[in-house]
Amino acid sequence: MKTYVARRLLALVPVALVVATVAFVLIHLAPGDPASIIAGPDATAADVQRITQQLGLEEPFPVQLLHWYGRLLQGDLGDSIFLRKPVTAAILDRVEPTLLLTVFAIVIAIAVGVPAGVLSARHHNTATDQTVMVAALLGVSIPNFLLGLLLIMCFSVWLGWFPVAGYTPLEDGILSTLRSLVLPALALGLVQSALIARIARSAMLDVLREQYITAGRAKGLGERAVVYKHALKNAMIPTITIIGISFAILVSGAVVVETVFNIPGLGRLIVSAVLRRDYPVVQGVVLCVAGVYMLINLAVDLSYLLIDPRVRYQ
């Protein structure tokens, strides 16, 4: 078990190194001198000079790369060119809505997806099963930003139940925050619940065919005990993997959905940074999101230790 954890943690090192390098190379991909591109067409030579110095572009490439690693190890992501503050501060300012949105969305995704999948499997090949599966197929075919627009059209424009867009910060009360996040979280969560339902269903179907399920039924266990006590636990192993993947997808989905609902989170931050060519902010948000993504994948792998005893004995 310890070797499993250690191996998994060690595997993160090369990946993190590549991630950091890719984020660094991004700024040098643009044809021409990065400083004058960032400064824009109307910039003076002094502006370009200032940005060159700020980004340390006058040094040779390998030296810049080493400096970059060194700064990252100290948690320093540099300064934003446009916002005139450290990138870490800019990110921290915007984390709250993105975090809440993602968590809210995964709760919806699990609450809808797992029961739908289990229901579908229990009533295999019936009308219920087919309805759930058609809904899930439509769910995986609709992009989250489109679902978001349709939800706004239905629940905000026509019914007027929710605000069209915008975000109420936590300090104004958690209820109004949640209210402002209902539609965006649905847009994100429902799409992922379709994926979760498909996996939960096929995992459940596989487990229900196992011999110990037949044995359980043969010794007279009720259907409830068979499904919820014996089958569900084992069907959760692939399901938790997909929930982890879903969570990671949601983090990046939030980036897009925030634009639909005008939520001032990390997604708005990176998109506006791209439009302003504020590269340090782009790099910072990309690194931050990739870091979260890697940690979630790590958590998924480690969660096997808890839910699948077979991993423990490897």
Partner 1 sequence: MSVIALPRPEAATRGWPRWLVVFAGRKIALAGAVLMAMVVIIAALAPIISGNPTHMDVAARLSPPSRVHWFGTDDVGRDVWSRVMYGARLSLGVGSAVVVLSFAAGVACGLVAGYYRHLDNVVMRVMDGLMAFPAIVLAIALMASLGPSVLNVVIAIAVVYSPRVARVVRGSVLVIRETAYVEAARALGAADLMLIGRHVLPNCLSPVIVQGSFVFAAAVLTEAALSFLGVGVPPYVPSWGNILSEGRLYIQQAPWLVLFPGAAIMLTILGLNLFGDGLRDLLDPKIRGLSTERHRAS
| Identity of the residue, 197 or 226, whose beta carbon is nearer to partner 1 in the bound complex | 197
Helix 61-73 vs helix 2-29: crossing angle, to nearest 10? 130
Q: Smallest gap, in angstroms, from Cβ of residue 270 to partner 1?
A: 6
Q: Smallest gap, in angstroms, from Cβ of residue 294 to partner 1?
A: 5
β-partners of residue 79 are: 86
List residues near partner 1 by CB under 8 A. 14-19, 21-23, 26-30, 137-138, 140-143, 145-146, 149-150, 152-153, 157, 164, 195, 198-199, 202-203, 205-206, 238, 241-242, 245-246, 248-249, 251-253, 255-256, 259-260, 270-271, 273-275, 277, 279, 282-283, 285-286, 289-290, 293-294, 297
| Identity of the residue, 149 or 221, whose beta carbon is nearer to partner 1 in the bound complex | 149
Max Cα distance, the chain (Å): 84
| Identity of the residue, 17 or 174, whose beta carbon is nearer to partner 1 in the bound complex | 17
Q: Smallest gap, in angstroms, from Cβ of residue 278 to partner 1?
A: 9
Q: Smallest gap, in angstroms, from Cβ of residue 248 to partner 1?
A: 7
| Identity of the residue, 221 or 307, whose beta carbon is nearer to partner 1 in the bound complex | 307
Q: What is the distance between the alpha carbons of residues 181 and 186, in angstroms, rounded to a whole number?
A: 8
**Residue with the two structure tokens 């995704």:** 109
Phi, psi of 80 (to 5 degrees): -70, 140
| Torsion of the alpha carbons at 295, 297, 303 and 309, rounded to the nearest 10 | -140
| Identity of the residue, 18 or 66, whose beta carbon is nearer to partner 1 in the bound complex | 18
Q: What is the distance between the alpha carbons of residues 107 and 268, in angstroms, rounded to a whole number?
A: 23
Is the separation of the CB atoms in 53 and 60 below 8 Å?
no
